[in-house]
């Protein structure tokens, strides 16, 4: 017997209380009990999105929410700018292409965020951009884009929609959809929201609704107009993953109990703990401090160690599950997830085990330095 | 405190063992543990579909699977025949229209099944039908279409694909996809498969793959080619609802333990029990015996009783949850679900409570006759 320690950037650990809430006996999704559950839950997502708009619940993975954003707003021939800083930016671009958009990719070196200036320069080159699309938190590289600044660039230099993939950060970082001017913000259940995968969330600005109301692209399951219509009746258009919505209700309660400001602060603390620890161990970080994500940290390969060997060794020996790289970083980085139901103690455990793994592989480093560095960061905040 | 008795046609009750299996700690959907889970599970769905083809797992509701079938095969301008015997047939037609198909509806009176002759007559009127689409079990009316015969009509009189919605029956009735010649068969998790909603399943014939490989319609999340590619690696293209797949593994074990032939027989017995009981209570059945579904029974409104009043009374007083009518049968029928984790004892309980409700409403009927009639059917098989 062993306990798996899930430290990848999603799915993330599910709290026992949420697991228990999901065990609720099955109910009809068209009855009064469901409507009460829905009413008590959907509204509570608004602070996490920073919006007064409704947040729609789709049964599907995060990708279904990305597709929802595109299928409802982009028609063949529309020009879009996709800011891509990693694999998930590329995925968003691929979805746009699937819907016949003319895609202008603003490709940033993997490991770096996109700046307001870079986006401004890009937007100046085009006249008829229907939407600018960006990733808030790039899971593949551990980069948090400055979406507030990117929104400023979009609205200063175009009248495009600003569509944001918040899959691997919403619920763990601050988001101010209305204030910043995000037109569509989407996320998934299995990251900072502490649920199993299976739900996706979408919120839409007034400006985006005007385009969606004239949508012609084929979409049935992902048709936002049907979600809006059902929402008014406290339901979803198709059968939702009822158990996960029971879990979501408990997730909202847990975040409210901690206080969302504190949740955000905890993620900031864990980010710093991980980064200081990795530095103290002499391992390179893919991303600089300014661009670094509060939910996932990418550790690069040092000259004298196979990072993939370390990762598989940690999994096999200590049952701790970090993610490898994806896309063009496959085999070249190890990703350390620290979001959702993850606390400073979990970071200390994970860093300790990384130290054990490094020692097993006869890697030269200062034993104990990683844990000590993480502890020091933590103690500043206690 | 009360116990809700879920007797609607989906979501259906979830067995304790399945609930427990879904409580498995979260795992990465790209790691070895998931691949083993997937390998051990996906193959076991084949007997329920009656196919040697792979059965793909989509995270979404049944509707997402219906849309998958259409999005991957139907292009704008394609002519399709949609056999519609109720609300879900109409939904399938609406999805085809969303994808630009020219839809010829073969509309059968609600409460009746479509016969081989009716479909043959219809097919003779057209020359270029790309696909014939039918519902195996129409949830809104409690009708089971004779899909084996319908398949015969399709293949004798056209070279069209035969696409079948098996959402509310697969796992509770016999299906022989390969033998009968069904090209795409889809179902959902929350009906006879005893799971919470959130998974959908699709299997595809060789003939359909040839069309899918040339698919041009926009589909990303529902793109079957990406499901096929991932299946070979024992994965799904996007993050799947991992907990539900743990539940599915246990569902497969439970059905194998009972023996699928016995599962099918149990549904047949429950169908007969319900029908004989409702008759003995003097309430009209919407459907004749020949067309009746083994998973859901529609009870029509008698002259001297409001069926909606009975249904809401049963819910409020006895916490037993039957479904009302949908579409044009809204307010006119009550639907009794008897599928999945439902056994003859559950039918006896439900019939007893219907008797209590009828008595409360001062309806004239032979008290005890319903339970007795159901018992008599059951005893023939014990």
Put simply, whether B95 touches A (Cβ < 8 Å) is: yes
Please give the Cα distance from B29 to B245 (Å, whole number).
11
Q: Are B347 and B270 in contact (CB under 8 A)?
A: yes
Chain A hits for B22, CB-CB cut-off 8 Å, are: 22-23, 243
Q: Taking all residues of chain B, what is their mean pLDDT, rounded to a whole number? A: 97
Minimal Cα–Cα distance from B227 to chain A, Å?
14
**How many C-beta atoms surround the C-beta of residue B69 within 10 A?**
28
Q: Are B349 and B357 in contact (CB under 8 A)?
A: no
Chain A hits for B237, CB-CB cut-off 8 Å, are: 63
Chain B hits for A239, CB-CB cut-off 8 Å, are: 10-11, 61-63, 188, 190, 197
Put simply, whether A300 touches B (Cβ < 8 Å) is: no
Put simply, whether B77 touches A (Cβ < 8 Å) is: no
Give the CA count within 13 Å in the CB-facing half-sphere of A149. 12
Do the Cβ atoms of A239 and B28 come within 8 Å? no
Q: Indicate the helix (H) or strand (E) that contains A48.
A: helix A46-49
Q: Are A68 and A222 in contact (CB under 8 A)?
A: yes
> What is the DSSP secondary-structure string of A64-114?
HHHHHHHHTT--TT-EEEEEESSHHHHHHHHHHHHTT-EEEEEE--TT-PP
**Which residue out of A189, A194, A241, A335 would a mutagenesis test of the B interface target, given it has the greatest number of B Cβ atoms within 10 Å?**
A241
CB-based contacts of A379, cutoff 8 Å, min separation 6: none
Put simply, whether A379 touches B (Cβ < 8 Å) is: no
Q: Which of B62, B87, B201 is nearest to B139 (CA)?
A: B87
**What pLDDT is attached to residue B262?**
97
**How many C-beta atoms surround the C-beta of residue A250 within 10 A?**
21
Return the structure tokens found at B255: 């059905």
> What is the DSSP secondary-structure string of A268-285?
HHHHHHHHHHHHHTTPPB
Locate the chain B residue with the closest alpha carbon to A33. Answer: B4
Per-residue exposure over B37-56, b if at least 16 CB sit within 10 Å of its own CB, e if not: bbeebbebbbebbbbebbbb
Please give the Cα distance from A263 to A319 (Å, whole number).
27
Please give the Cα distance from A163 to A165 (Å, whole number).
7
Please give the Cα distance from B272 to B7 (Å, whole number).
16
Residues 42-71 of A with CB under 8 A from B: 59-64, 67, 71
Alpha helices in A221-332 (DSSP H): 224-232, 242-258, 260-280, 307-318
**Residues with pLDDT less than 70, chain A:** none
Burial label for B129, CB within 10 Å (0-12, 13-18, 19+), is buried
Please give the Cα distance from B22 to A238 (Å, whole number).
22
Q: Which tens digit of pLDDT belongs to each residue from B169-220? A: 999 999 999 999 999 999 999 999 999 999 999 999 999 999 999 988 889 9
Please give the Cα distance from A15 to A194 (Å, whole number).
7
Q: Are B201 and B45 in contact (CB under 8 A)?
A: yes
Do the Cβ atoms of B25 and A10 come within 8 Å? no
Chain A hits for B244, CB-CB cut-off 8 Å, are: 196, 198, 241
The ipTM of this complex is 0.87
Do the Cβ atoms of A315 and B31 come within 8 Å? yes
Do the Cβ atoms of A6 and B26 come within 8 Å? yes
In DSSP terms, B298 is beta-bridged to B335
Q: Are A199 and B238 in contact (CB under 8 A)?
A: no
**Which residue out of B18, B189, B196 would a mutagenesis test of the A interface target, given it has the greatest number of A Cβ atoms within 10 Å?**
B196
End-to-end Cα spacing for chain B: 34
Question: What phi and psi, each to the nearest 5 degrees, are found at residue A60?
Answer: 170, 175
Locate the chain B residue with the closest alpha carbon to A195. Answer: B26
**What pLDDT is attached to residue B58?**
98
- Given B11, B19, B100, which is nearest A23 (Cβ)? B19
Minimal Cα–Cα distance from B117 to chain A, Å?
32
Minimal Cα–Cα distance from B376 to chain A, Å?
30
Locate the chain A residue with the closest alpha carbon to B219. Answer: A98
- Given B22, B25, B197, which is nearest A239 (Cβ)? B197
Do the Cβ atoms of B29 and A14 come within 8 Å? no
Q: Are A125 and A94 in contact (CB under 8 A)?
A: no
Q: List the domains of chain B with CATH numbers.
A: 5-10+260-381 (3.90.1150.10), 16-256 (3.40.640.10)
Minimal Cα–Cα distance from A236 to chain B, Å?
11
Sign of CA dihedral B174, B178, B180, B181: positive
Put simply, whether B9 touches A (Cβ < 8 Å) is: no
Put simply, whether B31 touches A (Cβ < 8 Å) is: yes
Please give the Cα distance from A163 to A192 (Å, whole number).
20
**What pLDDT is attached to residue B367?**
93
> Crossing angle, helix A242-258 and helix A260-280, to 10 degrees?
80
**What pLDDT is attached to residue B193?**
98
- Given A10, A29, A321, which is nearest B11 (Cβ)? A29
Chain B hits for A218, CB-CB cut-off 8 Å, are: 71, 98-100, 217-218
**Residues with pLDDT less than 50, chain B:** none
Do the Cβ atoms of B10 and A61 come within 8 Å? no
Do the Cβ atoms of A321 and B240 come within 8 Å? no
Q: Which of B324, B326, B58, B76 is nearest to B202 (CA)?
A: B58
């Amino acid at each position: 017997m062993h306990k798996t320690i899930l430290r990848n950037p999603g799915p993330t650990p599910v709290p026992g209380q949420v697991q228990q809430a999901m065990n609720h006996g099955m109910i009809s999704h068209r009855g009064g009990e469901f409507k009460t559950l829905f009413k008590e839950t959907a509204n509570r997502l608004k602070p996490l999105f920073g919006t007064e708009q409704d947040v729609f619940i789709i049964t599907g993975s995060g990708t279904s929410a990305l597709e929802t954003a595109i299928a409802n707003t982009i028609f063949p021939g529309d020009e879009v700018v996709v800011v891509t800083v990693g694999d998930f930016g590329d995925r968003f671009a691929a979805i746009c292409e699937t819907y016949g958009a003319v895609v202008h990719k603003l490709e940033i070196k993997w490991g770096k965020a996109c700046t307001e200036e870079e986006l401004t320069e890009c937007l100046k080159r085009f006249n008829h951009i229907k939407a600018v699309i960006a990733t808030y938190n790039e899971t593949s590289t551990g980069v948090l884009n400055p979406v507030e600044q990117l929104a400023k660039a979009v609205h200063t230099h175009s009248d495009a929609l600003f569509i944001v993939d918040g899959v691997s950060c919403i619920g763990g970082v601050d988001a101010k959809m209305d204030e910043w001017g995000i037109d569509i913000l989407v996320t998934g259940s299995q990251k900072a929201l502490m649920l199993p995968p299976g739900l996706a969330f979408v919120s839409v600005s007034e400006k985006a609704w005007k385009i969606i109301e004239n949508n012609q692209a084929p979409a049935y399951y992902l048709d936002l107009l049907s979600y809006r219509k059902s929402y008014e009746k406290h339901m979803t258009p198709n059968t939702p993953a009822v158990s996960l919505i029971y879990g979501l209700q408990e997730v909202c309660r847990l975040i409210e109990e901690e206080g969302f400001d504190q949740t955000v602060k905890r993620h900031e603390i864990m980010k710093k703990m991980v980064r200081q620890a990795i530095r103290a161990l002499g391992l390179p970080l893919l991303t600089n401090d300014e661009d670094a994500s509060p939910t996932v940290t990418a550790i690069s390969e040092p000259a004298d160690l196979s990072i993939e060997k370390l990762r598989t060794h940690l999994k096999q020996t200590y049952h701790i599950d970090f993610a490898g790289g994806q896309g063009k970083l496959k085999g070249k980085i190890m990703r350390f997830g620290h979001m959702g139901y993850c606390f400073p103690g979990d970071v200390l455990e994970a860093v300790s085990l990384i130290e054990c793994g490094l020692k097993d592989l006869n890697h030269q480093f200062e034993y104990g330095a990683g844990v000590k560095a993480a502890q020091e960061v933590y103690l500043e905040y206690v």
